C-alpha cells in the first residue's frame, strides 16, 4: 500500500505501541469513562506521552489543567512530576470529577493531584488569590469557546520559561477557513503575542488528526 493511503490510525498505533503503552491504571481510567457513559474525548495515549515529555523537559513541579474529564491526561501529566510536585485540575462537572478522583487514586496519584470543581474561570481567580501560582505548565482543555479567556487569565500565572498548551486546536481551526471558532481565535492570539514563542503541533488520535498548540512564556527583557 502507498504510504499516502495509510490510515492515520495506523501511524498512531505504531507510535502508541512503541512509546506510549498504557499500563493497568491508564486502561482502567479509559474503561471507567466508558462504563460511566462519559464522552470519549480524552487525549490519545501518544498525546498523553507528549504532554508527559514536555512536562519533564522543563522539569515541571507545578502543573495546572483546565478540563479534567476522567483524569486520563492528568495521569500522564502527574507521572512527570517529582515527589513533591503538584497538579491542580479544574472540572465543571461534579460527576466527572468524582470519576477522575477514583481513576487518579487507582493510579496512586491522589497525593499529587487535586481536582477542583467549578467553572474554570472562577476557579482561576480563586487559585490566584490563594497564592497557588506560579505554575510551570498549564494545559488548557476545557470549553473551546473560552480558550482566549483562559489564556489571558493563565499566562500571568505562568513562570517565565513555562509552557502553556492548548488542546484540540487543529481540526475546527482549519476545516472551514471562513468560520470563527474559539480555538482559531486562540491560535491567532498565541501566534501574535510577543511574550509567547508558539507552535501548533499536529497530533494523531484514533479519531483522526488534531493539534496541540505549544507556547513558551518569554523571559522579560530588562
Candidate residues 120, 151, 158, 163; the one interacting with ligand SAH per rule CB under 6 A: 120
143's contact among Mg ion, ligand SAH, none, with CB below 5 to 8 A by partner kind, is ligand SAH
32's contact among ligand SAH, Mg ion, none, with CB below 5 to 8 A by partner kind, is none
Q: Could you tell me how far CA 105 lies from the centroid of its own chain?
A: 19
One character per residue 149-178, x = contact with Mg ion (rule: CB under 5 A): ------------------xx----------
Helix ranges (DSSP H) in 70-212: 72-78, 94-106, 120-129, 147-154, 171-174, 182-192
* Distance of closest approach, residue 96 Cβ to ligand SAH, in angstroms: 5
Tell me how far apart the alpha carbons of residues 43 and 41 are, in angstroms, rounded to a whole number: 7
* For helices 147-154 and 182-192, angle between their N-to-C axes, nearest 10 degrees: 40
One character per residue 3-42, x = contact with Mg ion (rule: CB under 5 A): ----------------------------------------
Tell me how far apart the alpha carbons of residues 117 and 98 are, in angstroms, rounded to a whole number: 10
Q: Is 44 in the site for Mg ion (CB under 5 A)?
A: no
Burial of 184 (0-12, 13-18, 19+ CB in 10 A): buried
Per the CB < 8 A criterion, the answer to whether 47 and 72 are in contact is: no
91's contact among Mg ion, ligand SAH, none, with CB below 5 to 8 A by partner kind, is ligand SAH
Q: Is 169 in the site for ligand SAH (CB under 6 A)?
A: no
* Distance of closest approach, residue 211 Cβ to Mg ion, in angstroms: 10
Q: Is 65 in the site for Mg ion (CB under 5 A)?
A: no
Maximum distance among all Cα pairs of the chain, rounded to whole angstroms: 57
Question: In the range 67-96, which residues lie near ligand SAH by CB under 6 A?
Answer: 67-69, 72-73, 90-93, 96
Tell me how far apart the alpha carbons of residues 87 and 94 are, in angstroms, rounded to a whole number: 18
Applying CB under 6 A, the residues found at the interface with ligand SAH are: 41-43, 67-69, 72-73, 90-93, 96, 119-120, 141-143
Amino acid at each position: 500500500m502507498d504510504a499516502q493511503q495509510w490510515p492515520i490510525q495506523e501511524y498512531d498505533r505504531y507510535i502508541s505501541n512503541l512509546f506510549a503503552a498504557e499500563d493497568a491504571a491508564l486502561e482502567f481510567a479509559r474503561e471507567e469513562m466508558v462504563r460511566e457513559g462519559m464522552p470519549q474525548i480524552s487525549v490519545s495515549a501518544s498525546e498523553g506521552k507528549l504532554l508527559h515529555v514536555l512536562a519533564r523537559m522543563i522539569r515541571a513541579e507545578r502543573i495546572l489543567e483546565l478540563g479534567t474529564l476522567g483524569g486520563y491526561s492528568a495521569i500522564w501529566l502527574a507521572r512527570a512530576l517529582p515527589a513533591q510536585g503538584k497538579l491542580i485540575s479544574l472540572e465543571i462537572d461534579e460527576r466527572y470529577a468524582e470519576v477522575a478522583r477514583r481513576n487518579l487514586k487507582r493510579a496512586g496519584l491522589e497525593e499529587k493531584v487535586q481536582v477542583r470543581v467549578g467553572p474554570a474561570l472562577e476557579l482561576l481567580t480563586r487559585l490566584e488569590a490563594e497564592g497557588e501560582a506560579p505554575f510551570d505548565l498549564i494545559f488548557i482543555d476545557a470549553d473551546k469557546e473560552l480558550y482566549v479567556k483562559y489564556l489571558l487569565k493563565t499566562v500571568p500565572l505562568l513562570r517565565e520559561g513555562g509552557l502553556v498548551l492548548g488542546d484540540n486546536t487543529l481540526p475546527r481551526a482549519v476545516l472551514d477557513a471562513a468560520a470563527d471558532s474559539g480555538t482559531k481565535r486562540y491560535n491567532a492570539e498565541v501566534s501574535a503575542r510577543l511574550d509567547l514563542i508558539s507552535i501548533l503541533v499536529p497530533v494523531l488520535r484514533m479519531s483522526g488528526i488534531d493539534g496541540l498548540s505549544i507556547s513558551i512564556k518569554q523571559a522579560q527583557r530588562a
